[in-house]
Amino acid sequence: GMELAPPASGDIIPPSKSKEEKRREGKARALEIAKQRRLAEAANSDDDDAKAHSGHGSHNSKRANAFVRWLRATFQATIRGGVLDVAGGNGEVSVRLNFCEHIPATTVDVREADLVATLTKRIIPRLPKKWQAKLLGKSRAELLAISEDPGCGSVLPEQIVSRWDSLESVEASPSLMAAVHSSSVIVGLHADASTEAIVDVALKYNKSFAVVPCCVFPNLFKDRRTKSGDVVRSYEQFCEYLEDREDGVVRDELGFHGRNVCLYYRGREVRSLKAELEGKSARLVVGFSAQGYGDIEAAYDALLGAWGSPPEVVVFGGDRGDDGGVGSLVKLVKDRLEVRLVAVIKATLTHGLEDHVDSYVKYSDEDWWGGVDNEGRLRGATAVYLDDELGNGDYGIISVGGGKIAREEVNVAREKGILCVYAKASNREGELGEVDGLLL
């Protein structure tokens, strides 16, 4: 469905400009955008193969298809958490993700897109013939009905009609911020003036991103500088500028002609918990999750008493920082002590851990949060932070209270010879839980 971004509330409203000032600024911006698009189109058509295509739509479909395939291959499980496509134009990237890949997507653009037309004219005709036969004969109303039927799954992506001009303007929009928090990857394929703002938002809120720059707009963004201090004016300078924004931004080239450089970033995550803990003292904190703590401050005091001096790294299972459970407990630790906080989470998890988590280790065992299955196999986060390779260094477990999964993890850790410590704490019901009595 389409959502109109509501105006921000509580903002300081600057003095209004005269109609003539607004007209001049709007005209200058429009001229600059038109100029940059002409340059970009010339660059994108600067080869014989591209010129051989019959129309602009053909170019766009090839680019969108190549970009979607690249996104799926590059981000793998992470992308299943949802994609936010900024300056999406006709919405083809989002429609392809939603319809062809079954990946939830939201498209944002200043103009409303006809997503049904994008589906029927750009995507369905390129499907295998058996699928074309099933879908091409359906009317717009029938396609919309399928899209809105919860039993069929969503055919069309969500749509937000809004500008995406800067970090500040995005943060002022509740609808855009809701979309940011519910996505795992933010993307922009030739997103024009929104490109750098995508990077700004993704870096602040620790989202993976992928942008394919096109227009540079040097007259609109005069403050951009390369590492050497040069004003960013050329396409290559713009790519270098974005690549240098953060350690971990990677450059790739997509499988289409023209401006095909893609800058992407996987967020503050690590591929291996062993690599994250190498040479450091670390403690895994487990305890009550959904049951929460009856007194979070008492739980914090018990934790401090249990470990004596704080470790360099605290590991936990990715619980939210506002639910009164383990996530809230380690957030207190992060806020008050000099420790590094590592969350072990599902690859598709998108809730907001960004303010207090330093890095992530992601796993793809989607059916399990943690624990041990009936065949004795470690599942979910438990398989990550009780890996055999982790028991060789200064690594241990502190269970602050804890229920069934915490008990299973403590038992496995003891079998592996990993240090285990218990800190007595009760849940919201006043119960000490299943770990109490195991560790004396």
pLDDT tens per residue, range 59-78: 566 899 999 999 999 988 77
């800058």: which residue's tokens?
263
| Beta-strand relationship, 185-189 and 83-86 | parallel
- Highest mean pLDDT, choosing among 123-132, 198-207, 341-350, 354-363: 198-207
Q: Is the pLDDT of residue 438 over 80?
A: no
% of the chain with per-residue pLDDT over 90:
45
pLDDT category of residue 276 using cuts at 50, 70 and 90: confident
Q: Is the pLDDT of residue 12 over 50?
A: no
- Output 352 or 271, whichever has higher pLDDT: 271
Written as one string, the DSSP assignment of 145-164 is HHHH-TTT--SS-EEEE---
Please report how many Cα atoms fall inside a 13 Å half-sphere around the Cα of residue 125, on the Cβ side: 8
pLDDT category of residue 436 using cuts at 50, 70 and 90: confident
The two three-digit tokens of residue 60, written as one number: 């766009």
Instruction: State residue 344 phi and psi, 5-degree precision.
Output: -105, 110
Which residues make beta-bridge pairs with 418? none
- CA gap 222, 131 in Å, rounded: 49
pLDDT value for 35: 63
State mean pLDDT over 107-113. 96
Q: Is the pLDDT of residue 49 over 70?
A: no
pLDDT category of residue 367 using cuts at 50, 70 and 90: confident
pLDDT category of residue 150 using cuts at 50, 70 and 90: very low
pLDDT category of residue 385 using cuts at 50, 70 and 90: confident
- Output 28 or 161, whichever has higher pLDDT: 161
Contact 207, 199 (CB under 8 A): no
Contact 344, 273 (CB under 8 A): yes
User: Over the Cα atoms of the chain, what is R_g?
Assistant: 25
pLDDT value for 58: 46
- Output 428 or 43, whichever has higher pLDDT: 428
Q: Is the pLDDT of residue 133 over 90?
A: no
Q: Which residues in 179-310 belong to E strands, given as ranges?
A: 185-189, 208-212, 250-253, 261-265, 269-270, 282-287
Q: Is the pLDDT of residue 267 over 90?
A: no
Which of 97-106, 139-148, 245-254, 256-265 is predicted with the least confidence, judged by mean pLDDT?
Answer: 139-148
State mean pLDDT over 286-315. 92
pLDDT category of residue 153 using cuts at 50, 70 and 90: very low
pLDDT value for 206: 79
State mean pLDDT over 112-126. 88
